[in-house]
Structure formats: C-alpha cells, structure tokens
Amino acid sequence: MSIDAWLVLALASGVRSRALRALLDQFGDAKSIVTASSKDLRLAGLNERSVHAIANPDLPTLDLCKDWLSAPDHHAVTWADSRYPVLLSEIPDPPPLLFVWGDAETLGLPQFAIVGSRNATPGGRETARQFARHLSQGGFCITSGLALGIDAAAHRGALDTDNSTIAVFGTGLDEVYPKNHETLARDIAIKGALVSEFPPGTPVRRAQFPQRNRIISGMSVGTLVIEAGLRSGALITARLAGEQGREVFAVPGSIHNPLSKGCHQLIRSGAKLVERSDDIIEELPGILGGLAQPVQQNMALEPGSDPTAIDPEYQRLLTVMGWDPVTVDTLVNRSGLTAEEVSSMILILELEGRIDSLTGGRYLQREEGRSK
C-alpha cells in the first residue's frame, strides 16, 4: 500500500526533504523508493544513514501509525496527495507526510496563522478571539498551535463562526498538549483539523515546537502575533513566516505591557502593525479571491448592542463629537443644539455605554460604540 511506503520514508530519520524530492524524481513514487535495493539508493546519492533507515523501518512505530490511521477521521496526507497544502509544499523543508485528525479537505483552505503568548492578558486573549472571528468570517481558516493563551483564543474565535480552524501539534495527535485543551482539540477536529508531522505516540519535547511552528507559518498566507514577550515562541513562528516569504503582522500595545515587547520588536523589524482585522484582509488582496470582503469589523461589538439602533439625532451628536474628548460647549457649537439638550443626550449616551466622561467635563466616544 502506497501510504505504508510514505510512512517508511516519513519515519526514516535522516532523509531530508531535499533528498526525498530527488529520490521521488528518480524513482517515480514512494513505493519504488522503499522497494529499491540499497545499492540503487546509494547510487541515487542517498547517504548511508538514510539507506539504512529505509531498509530497516521502525516497525513498532509503523504499526502504531497504521493502527492510528485505521480510526475514522484519521488521515495521512502526503506530498502525493492533492490535499497537501500548496503553500506548505513551497517552504524549504516541508514534511513529506502530515497526520490529520478531522477533515483533511480543510488543509486546502486559505489559512491565516494567529499566535502569541501562552501567558496572554485577558485583553490580549479577547483581541485574539475577535481577530480570529473576523478573519474567519472574512474567509480564512485560522491556524494556530493549540497552546494556552493566544493560540487557544484564536481557535475559539474561529469556532465561534461556522468556519474551520487548524491546530498544529508539536506531539503525536494522540498526545494533546496541554492536557486541559482536550475538549478544545476535539471541537477543532470536528469543525476543522488537527495536524502533526510527528507519529502517534510522540511525547512532548521542547525541540519539536519550533519545528512545529514552521508548519503553522508554512501553511498560512500570513502570521499575526498578538501579545508576545521577548522570548515567546510566537516570535520564532513570525521569523519562520518571514523566511518563508509570508506576511508578518503584529498588534501593538502599551509600552508598559511586557507582552507587547515581542510585537513591538517585530514591527521594528518590518512586521505590519495592525489595529483591525481589515488591515490584514486589505493587505492580502487576491488571496481569498471573490471571498475577500473586508468584514465590517467592530472589535468590541457584543450581541445586543446593534449600533444601527441609535436615534439619528444621537448619531448626529456622535458624529460631531468625533474621536477626541470634547466639552459640552464644543458640542453645543458643533451641533447647534442647546446646552440642555446636549447635556441630556450626553447622559443617555453615557448610560448606553457609547461615550465615556473624562475629567474636566469632557466626553470621549467609545470605540466600540461605532462600527467601521
């Protein structure tokens, strides 16, 4: 069976992507390689370690893989498979085989990666979820690493919509890490896919995560970093995205937030500063084809606070109010209303949460009070 041959090749340590490509060019397919004589493989330029690895496959792991693959919704997607992500095949070292749990067709969707700190602030997680939700609605499949913090929030934002999301593991797909994301992993497998290049049974090893990160960035047209300390693994993903020729985006934040420092460093190194998901959609024209419709994003629009529900008179006041703090006097001048009318409307708008009162009798329109 062809997949067995691919498994042998994928598990053969030392057979690098480039060597494997050369072998495939020469032998035609995976099966012809694994059934070739050691002499022919040597003649084809393969080094001794690789020749040995192909001739002596790791049978217990091979059995484990085949066993895992026999379960429903478990797939192996190889270079020879039309479902193998095109963008991933373009990186310098694409894995020859991906284990997939869920809908393997998902891999063919235009993917966008959202990554960030495991120790994200609640605000950062909310930002990740909302960006993921809007980019998902905009037509992207959100890809991330199932980690605590930003990764999980990004997956959840995508799950809020009816669109799919992909989690790339740094372990075997039977080893959910972290453990308390088992339910989240299951939800993702149902509406999207879990992906790993590591065979089932592969435990957590630190070194596997940067390797995993190249798949997250490699499958994606772009990578967005939301909150990352200066040592965050998200910066590795961003660097790999850059090396793979993909767009890198970062959300800025307070200079007093240690988790903004990684994002600021990325921006200084050329990452695109983004404030809204539309900044990303506008930056990636053509990726989504007819789908690319900047979503009317309202970062903070909660169900029930439909901004169209506002009285035109009040809307006019908000319009003349603009986005800088203003006094009642200014509003009177700008609106032509009386001070009493303005004061009473201000009170209503404040109660509705559309504006904030600042010191010095000034008022400031809330961002979430408006769409755009």
Give me the residues that bind a second copy (CB under 8 A), please.
Answer: 117, 119, 121-124, 126-127, 229-232, 251-261, 264, 267-268, 272-276, 299-300, 319-326, 330, 334, 350, 353, 355-360, 362, 364-365, 367-368, 370, 372
**Beta strand 97-102 pairing with 326-327:** unpaired
Closest distance between a second copy and the C-beta of residue 21, in Å?
A: 39
Q: How far apart are alpha carbons 281 and 237 in whole angstroms?
A: 20
Please state the closest distance from residue 316 (CB atom) to a second copy, in A. 12
What tokens were used for 334? 């700008």
Judged by beta carbon, residue 123 or residue 336, the one nearer a second copy is: 123
The rounded distance, in Å, linking the Cα atoms of 297 and 301 is 8
Tokens representing residue 60 in the block:
């217990």
CB atoms within 10 A of CB 66: 15
In the complex, least distance from residue 136 CB atom to a second copy, rounded to whole angstroms = 19
Least distance (Å) between residue 161 CB and a second copy: 21
| Residues written for the chain | 372
- Least spacing, CB of residue 33 vs a second copy, in Å: 45
Question: Considering beta carbons, is residue 86 or 347 the nearer one to a second copy?
Answer: 347
Nearer to a second copy, 15 or 267 (CB): 267
Instruction: Considering the complex, state which of residue 17 and residue 330 has its C-beta at the smaller distance from a second copy.
Output: 330
Task: Round to whole Å and give the CA distance between 207 and 170.
Answer: 9
CB nearer a second copy, residue 211 or residue 257: 257
Strand 220-226 versus strand 111-116 pairing type:
parallel
Pairing mode of beta strands 355-357, 272-273: unpaired
Nearest-approach distance from CB 260 to a second copy, in angstroms: 7
Q: Which is nearer to a second copy, 52 or 370 (CB)?
A: 370
Which of helix, strand or coil describes residue 116?
A: strand
